[in-house]
C-alpha cells in the first residue's frame, strides 16, 4: 500500500479524520464517480448497449434509435465540425459515437437478414 500527502481545506480535513478508516474506499468511489462523469459523452449510448446486451428480437433491433440527448450531441458535434473544427477531445468523442453507430448498423443489418430469412 502507498502513502500520499494531500493539502485540503480545514473543514475537509476534519471530515476526513472522522472517516480515516474508510478513506481508501471513499477515494476509490470518488475516482469512479469522476471517471463516470468524464464518460458523459456516452450519455444516450448506454441505453442502446444495454438493450443489445439483452439479446433483443430482430424487430427491437431495427427499432433502435438514438436517445434525444445523444442525437442532440451528435448535431452539436456535426455543426461545430463544419464551423470551426473539433478539439482533440471532441474528435475522440465523435470517433466513439461513430464506432457505436457502426456496431448498431451491423446489428440492424443482421436483424434485417434474419427477418428476410423467415
Kindly report, residue by residue over 40-90, the tens digit of the pLDDT: 556 667 778 788 888 899 999 999 988 888 899 999 999 999 999 999 889
pLDDT 10s digits, 107-118: 999 999 999 988
Q: What is the DSSP letter of 65?
A: -
Letter string b/e over residues 67-88, b meaning 16 or more CB atoms within 10 A of that residue's CB: eeebeebbeebeeeeeeeeeee
Residues 44/73, Cβ–Cβ less than 8 Å: yes
Amino acid at each position: 500500500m502507498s502513502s500520499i500527502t494531500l493539502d485540503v481545506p480545514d473543514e475537509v480535513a476534519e471530515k476526513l479524520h472522522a472517516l480515516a478508516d474508510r478513506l481508501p474506499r471513499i477515494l476509490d468511489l470518488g475516482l469512479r464517480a469522476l471517471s463516470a462523469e468524464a464518460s458523459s459523452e456516452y450519455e444516450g449510448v448506454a441505453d442502446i448497449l444495454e438493450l443489445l446486451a439483452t439479446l433483443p428480437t430482430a424487430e427491437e433491433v431495427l427499432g433502435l434509435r438514438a436517445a434525444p440527448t445523444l442525437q442532440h450531441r451528435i448535431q452539436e458535434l456535426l455543426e461545430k465540425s463544419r464551423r470551426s473544427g473539433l478539439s482533440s477531445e471532441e474528435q475522440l468523442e465523435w470517433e466513439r459515437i461513430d464506432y457505436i453507430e457502426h456496431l448498431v448498423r451491423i446489428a440492424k443489418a443482421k436483424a434485417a437478414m434474419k427477418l428476410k430469412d423467415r
